[in-house]
Amino acid sequence: MSSQRGDTSRMTMSDPPSFAYPQNDSRLPPPGTACPKPICIRDASNKPKWWFNLTYSNPCPPHVQLHTSISSAAQKAWAEKKRGGSTDAKMAVLQAMQMTKEMKEISDGPRGKVYAVKKGSDWVLGACLEMGSMQGMTWRVLGTGVKAFEGWTFVLGEK
């Protein structure tokens, strides 16, 4: 890994980056940081676990396009779910977190909570985006999973 903090240009997927942030949040790079390679959030025992391509505020062209695709697919999935009778975004998100476990909190830090949305549950992300904020958090599409989490979406509940 590069000796310069936050430089991921020579990082391999086995080397989780270590970032320095204004809010002292080592999980995510500052907004606007180019991050062309996957990043990782560690589990409670500090082992690399949750790998994803960062799309939130990432200026790398493929990631900008990916961010747009994720958001569009999520909004479409939520619109279809609403046609089936689910219309309350907040209740749908709470149900996905607490009952069906389609969305789970994986990390908490200075910038907010990171959630993983299971593969095939794009409607949950769409409900988050429609709602905009909940319990003092603003929902942000963080990225899309790689490795064992391919097809999953990661969401930031930003403080």
pLDDT at residue 23 is higher than 70: no
Is the pTM higher than 0.75? The answer reads yes
> Quick check: is 59 in a domain?
yes
Q: Is 141 helix (H, G, I), strand (E, B) or coil?
A: strand
Mean pLDDT of the 12-33 span: 68
> Quick check: is 38 in a domain?
no
Give per-residue burial for 91-113: e unless 16+ CB within 10 Å, then b: ebbebbbeeeebbeebbebebbb
> Quick check: is 75 in a domain?
yes
> Quick check: is 118 in a domain?
yes
More confident residue, 70 or 85: 70
How many CB atoms are closer than 10 A to CB 90? 14
pLDDT at residue 130 is higher than 80: yes
From 6-20, 67-81, 102-116, the region with the lowest mean pLDDT: 6-20
> Quick check: is 141 in a domain?
yes
pLDDT at residue 22 is higher than 60: no
Domain with 74, as residue range(s), is: 53-158
Cα separation, 65 vs 132, whole angstroms = 21
pLDDT at residue 14 is higher than 70: no
pLDDT at residue 15 is higher than 60: no
More confident residue, 15 or 44: 44
Evaluate whether 37 touches 8 at the Cβ level (below 8 Å): yes
Q: What is the pLDDT of residues 89-129, one digit of tens each?
A: 999 999 999 999 999 999 999 999 999 999 999 999 999 99
> Quick check: is 138 in a domain?
yes
pLDDT at residue 73 is higher than 80: yes
Total count of domains within the chain = 1
Evaluate whether 48 touches 40 at the Cβ level (below 8 Å): yes
* pLDDT interval class at 58 (50, 70, 90): very high
> Quick check: is 112 in a domain?
yes
> Quick check: is 127 in a domain?
yes
Mean pLDDT of the chain: 87
